[in-house]
Chain A
Amino acid sequence: MAYADQDTGHHEGSNKFIWKYVFSQDHKVIAVQYGCTAIAVGLLALVLSWLMRMQIGFPGSLEFIDPTAYYQYVTMHGMIMVIYLLTAFFLGGFGNYLIPLMCGARDMVFPFLNMLSYWFYLVSVIILMSSYFVPGGPTGAGWTLYPPQAILQGTPGADWGIIMMLASLAVFIIAFTMGGLNYITTILQARCKGMTLMRMPLTIWSIFTATVLGLLAFPALFVSAVMLLFDRLLGTSFFMPYIVHMGQAMETSGGSPVLFQHLFWFFGHPEVYIVALPAFGLVSDILSTHARKNVFGYRMMVWAILAIGGISFIVWAHHMYVSGMNLYLGFFFATTTLIIAIPTAVKVYNWTLTLWHGNIHLNTPMLFAIGFISTFLIGGLTGLFLGNVAVDIPLSDTYFVVAHFHMVMAIAPVMVVFAAIYHWYPKMSGRMYNETMGKIHFWVTFIGTYLIYFPMHYLGFEGMPRRYYAYEGYEFISESAQGLNEYITVVAIFVGVLQFLFIYNMAVSLKYGKKAPANPWHATTLEWQTPDTPPCHGNWRDNLPVVYRWAYDYSVPGAEKDYIPQNVPGGHTEEDIEHGGDPQGAPA
């Protein structure tokens, strides 16, 4: 094959920094570019969350936070975190880095397209950031961008901000599509000899499924963004009924705001799993490696990933129980939503059972991985409240929802982002990081996020509505709620500031860290078996690896070491298989 025969990428002149690190077609460099860009925008979104929290905890203490600014923070924080940080990081970052290495390929099958994907992503980020410099500033419509308010005066950034946001999303989706087609094609076509589908690490299964979800779901966001742009710029009425706005009749009619919500959440719910599934996969592999034990119930885990991916397309309207859609739809969507909890629960059981009778190393990546189980647990369980339509009606649009979705799709996935960075950093950089700093980072992040979000659910029980600039004068909110909000703000800022310790650790270790061995965790998957650390362009020197076993041969009875890499021949006897050996039952 052409990609196997390519020389290792030095034909542009290996001395030229710009071709090696800027306009690189090496999936590993592109992965790092994706990751660093995502972290950079993520830090901005983190600062925005502090500003929001300052206004909620200490109203009026920062003079420049007026309602306009506050709603702009809310919107940009949400959109950046969901799309430009988490989606980009899991698929563009980890997907890019791990797919070719774990599949035993030299690179993505379309390296140039891969490079283009990153540059389009960067353009989308630049468009988004430039909305801070247009008249009126960025949009303050909330990350859901619901029309009609998103494109009307009365919402911040209705002149330019919303246009920039929609344009940026459209470009992001183009970037994602280029990357996504590449990931899928690579996983299906470029696996090395012996890497059958049922030998793939769960990381690859989950990224594969998440990418398929993305390719099917993002077009819905794309069309809704384009239609909303038309409504804003050309005066069409896709989402605009006849309305009287600020005392003036608008020249719109016949459109439906609910249609936008259906399109948005047809994308938006799979989006939750576009973020969560890669986290599920990565954490499975990290738990297995550091527990020195195979992932429990591998086949069940694969089916659970596929089931979650499939069902995630028929649950979207649980975001719309009180949207004014036909109420009878609630029966269907509540049922599908609670059904999706079953494969999700299976995954949680299997993670905990992976620890059972393990030999657990509590190093930094493992701490974050176990922290993920705990944080995801609470987020998943509160999902059972909000998915059940009769329970959702009182709780929707309150701080219970804010606490729920932060736990389930912010904190839990971010725990995995950290676990995965700490886990693969030695391979990516060739250096070890400072373990003490890593552990401090874990303790503050894990305990801190609990202290922030657990009490927040109770504000939701009390009925405190979300997306409020101020709560002054609402009698039903107890006075002590303000004290709780102050406390949450203080903890949030502390936890946020400590994230810089992580960045410091990563940056300094790049230069001063101990040299990393090729396989510091004694892991079985292929990326740890590369001849070079960090892997060279092309990953494998002369010969591609050959895979002889599944990805989880840890602590195999009778084996000399407590792990057998996937590319080590031999292995299973008939007897092993009978006793539950290689689950696909095909010894190499």
Chain B
Amino acid sequence: MALAIVLIAMVVGSVIFHFWSPWWFTPLASNWGAMDATIMFTFWVTGAVFVAVNLFLAYCVIKFKHSPDRRSAYEPENSKLETWLTAITTVGVFAMLAPGLIVYKQFVQVPDDAVIFEAVGHQWQWSYRLPGKDGALGKADNRNVTFDNPLGVDPDDPWGQDDLIVVGAPAHILVDQPIRFNLRSKDVLHDFYVPQFRAKMDVVPGLVSYFWMTPTVTGTYEVLCAELCGVGHYNMRSKVVVDTAEDYALWLRSQRTFAETQGGQAPGGDPVERGEQLAQQQGCMACHSLDGSRGVGPTWQGMYGRTEVLADGSSVTADDAYLRESITNPNAKIVQGYPPVMAAYPFSDDDLDAIIAYFMSLSE
């Protein structure tokens, strides 16, 4: 009896929870409403089965509870009933499969008017590249990656010279414009994931994966990584801004082409500001927090001048010399309790000065 009550309570509770739950899909911001519709169709079909079978169990438990005066029925099989149940199930399953496959057919067929947008993942940040005036992306390969050419654009390919390179900044896309996202990875698996867009896809080194979608609502959305990619996985953040035509045109004008990034960055300006910019471009904040919280690497808040205990037990003061070494040769001295997972960043001396000025500003 208790079991029947619990089963019934579970069914009732689940239904109440569903209608009460504040946790539900983020507002849709792409053309993939059909995916949501398929989910909801599946939800109601399976929900009905969930309720029916649990209530049937509860009924059996009450109705056929043990009694010494009674014997069970002896019915090894009932082909008619079994055939019917199998047939109904088959119909139900295909009723869910069919709309799913119809939606999926749209997903695999990229529309002809889709524009290409490239997202490149590496531990632990997102970078972007989009075609310049010629409308086509130049060739790119991990073999071309250098410190100044982080996306590996082929420097000899004329099609690539006008490609716009977006590193350490939000991506912008145009509302109502179908977009084919081409995805590349420099190191390990990642997954380009914007919850509001619904569509997502793994980013795989060695190949170019893709998916397409049309953004339908302007606004700023978070980009996450949805495929485990190491200790910084949870913090591989970026933003994508869905713009109106005017805003998009404005943004495009302020972007630098690949050819322009190859000239080197002119020093000058406020060193603190430039340091911050460099750190953002390199995605440092995926691992180093600015608010004192613990990340993959030590926080930068109050770091300058702090005394750190190293992995070998000795201590060191985080002064200019130590910080320079830790950027250009990070594994030389590892702070105790942190994994040795930082890449070496061969910044120029000017850039290093700017970054350290930025560190100092965080310790004031």
Contacts and interface: CB of A to CB of B under 8 A. Distances in A.
Interface of A: 60, 66-68, 71, 140-142, 144, 146-149, 152-156, 241-249, 255-258, 291-294, 296-300, 322-324, 327-328, 330-331, 334-335, 338-339, 341-342, 345-346, 348-350, 352-353, 355-362, 367, 370, 373-374, 377-378, 381-382, 384-385, 388-391, 393-398, 443, 446-447, 450, 454-455, 458-459, 461-463, 465, 467-476, 478, 480-481, 484, 552, 554-557, 562, 580-583
A390 B100 contact: yes
A388 B54 contact: no
B142 A478 contact: no
Given A389-B104, A465-B193, A470-B234, A152 B188 contact: yes
A359 B63 CA distance: 9
B229 A242 contact: no
Interface in B58-101: 60-61, 64-67, 70-78, 81-82, 85-86, 89-90, 93-94, 96-97, 99-101
Interface string B141-177: 1110101000010000000000000000000000000
A357 B64 contact: yes
A480 B195 CA distance: 18
A398 to B, nearest CB: 8
B72 A293 contact: yes
Contact of A296 (B77, B152, B345): B77
Contacts of B195: 462-463, 476
Nearest to A250: B187
Contacts of A377: 49-50, 53-54
Contacts of B185: 243
Contacts of B23: 455, 458-459, 461-462, 478, 480-481, 484
B259 to A, nearest CB: 22
Given A385-B42, A480-B22, 5 more contacts: A341-B89, A355-B61, A358-B73, A360-B65, A396-B226
Contact of B42 (A292, A358, A384): A384
Contact of A555 (B71, B78, B339): B71
B97 A335 contact: yes
Interface stretch (B128-136, B198-206, B313-321): B198-206
B232 A67 contact: yes
Nearest to B152: A244
B72 A554 contact: yes
Interface of B: 2-3, 6-7, 10, 14, 17, 21-26, 32, 34-36, 38-39, 42-43, 45-46, 49-50, 53-54, 56-57, 60-61, 64-67, 70-78, 81-82, 85-86, 89-90, 93-94, 96-97, 99-101, 103-104, 107-108, 122-123, 141-143, 145, 147, 152, 183, 185-189, 191, 193, 195-196, 198-207, 209, 221-222, 224-235, 237, 293-296, 337-346
B108 A330 contact: yes
Contacts of A385: 39, 42-43, 46
Nearest to B346: A247
B125 to A, nearest CB: 13
6 contacts: A155-B231, A384-B93, A390-B104, A391-B42, A467-B234, A554-B72
B227 A297 contact: no
A391 B337 CA distance: 41
Given A346-B89, A374-B10, A462 B64 contact: no
A467 B70 CA distance: 53
A22 to B, nearest CB: 40
B42 A393 contact: no
Contacts of B43: 385
A244 B229 CA distance: 14
Contacts of B14: 454
B89 A246 contact: no
Contact of B222 (A359, A367, A475): A475
A408 to B, nearest CB: 13
A579 B36 CA distance: 50
B309 to A, nearest CB: 15
Nearest to B143: A242
B230 A324 contact: no
Contacts of B7: 374
B167 to A, nearest CB: 14
A388 B38 contact: yes
Contact of B345 (A155, A241, A247, A291): A247
B204 A324 contact: yes
A562 B231 CA distance: 60
A197 B238 CA distance: 60
Contacts of B339: 68, 153-154, 156
B209 to A, nearest CB: 3
B93 to A, nearest CB: 5
A345 B189 CA distance: 35
A475 to B, nearest CB: 6
Q: Which of A140, A349, A390, A555 has the most CB of B within 10 A?
A: A390
B344 A297 contact: no
A552 B73 CA distance: 12
B203 A324 contact: yes
A246 B341 contact: yes
A61 to B, nearest CB: 12
Contact of B71 (A324, A391, A562): A562
B79 to A, nearest CB: 9
Nearest to B196: A476
B227 A397 contact: yes
A125 B224 CA distance: 36
A242 B186 CA distance: 8
B75 to A, nearest CB: 6
B34 A390 contact: yes
B39 A394 contact: yes
A4 B339 CA distance: 59
B25 A461 contact: yes
A178 B104 CA distance: 43
Contacts of A342: 86, 89-90, 93
Contacts of A396: 200, 226
B61 A476 contact: no
Contact of A373 (B57, B76, B123, B295): B57
B231 A241 contact: no
B46 A382 contact: yes
B6 A458 contact: no
**Leading 5 A-B pairs by shortest Cβ distance:** A241-B206, A463-B195, A246-B343, A324-B209, A247-B343
A255 B205 CA distance: 10
A69 to B, nearest CB: 10
A388 B100 contact: yes
Contact of A378 (B50, B100, B340): B50
A81 B90 CA distance: 33
A374 B234 contact: no
Contacts of A474: 222, 224
A525 to B, nearest CB: 16
Contact of A346 (B3, B85, B103): B85
Given A149-B189, A393-B200, A396-B226, A71 B231 contact: yes
A388 B231 CA distance: 31
B144 to A, nearest CB: 10
B65 A362 contact: yes
A31 B76 CA distance: 32
Given A152-B187, A346-B89, A359-B66, A394 B294 contact: no
A393 B107 contact: yes
A381 B49 contact: yes
A146 B189 contact: yes
Contacts of B293: 60, 472
Given A149-B228, A384-B96, A394 B10 contact: no
Contacts of B21: 455, 458
B110 to A, nearest CB: 10
Contacts of A66: 294, 337-338
B284 to A, nearest CB: 13
Contacts of B74: 293-294, 554-557, 580
B3 A367 contact: yes
B360 to A, nearest CB: 25
